[in-house]
Amino acid sequence: MREDDDRHWLAGTIYFNRDDPRILVPKKLGLGIGRTLNLGHPVSWLFLAAVCVFVVVMAVTGNR
């Protein structure tokens, strides 16, 4: 379950591994600083949905 296995990376930036229990994994490209979401984990999709809902609510309410 190594996150540097190329078959789990799309274009070196998007990580998808259902067998990896981690939600955040170290980035593969760049300076190696930071983390990226494991899109194979269901919680990462909930997080992305929450961010999208937040953005839509802020846009609709005019950020009052």
**Residues 48-64: pLDDT tens digits?**
999 999 999 999 998 66
Cα 53–Cα 59–Cα 64 angle in degrees, nearest 5:
110
* Nearest Cα residue to 10 out of 45, 38, 52, 50: 38
Provide the whole-model pTM: 0.75
- If we measure between CA atoms, which residue out of 5, 42, 52 comes closest to residue 21? 42
| Alpha-carbon distance values, 48 to 4, 5, 40, 41 (Å) | 23, 24, 13, 11
Quick check: 1 pLDDT over 60?
no
Grade residue 32 by pLDDT with cuts at 50, 70 and 90.
Answer: low
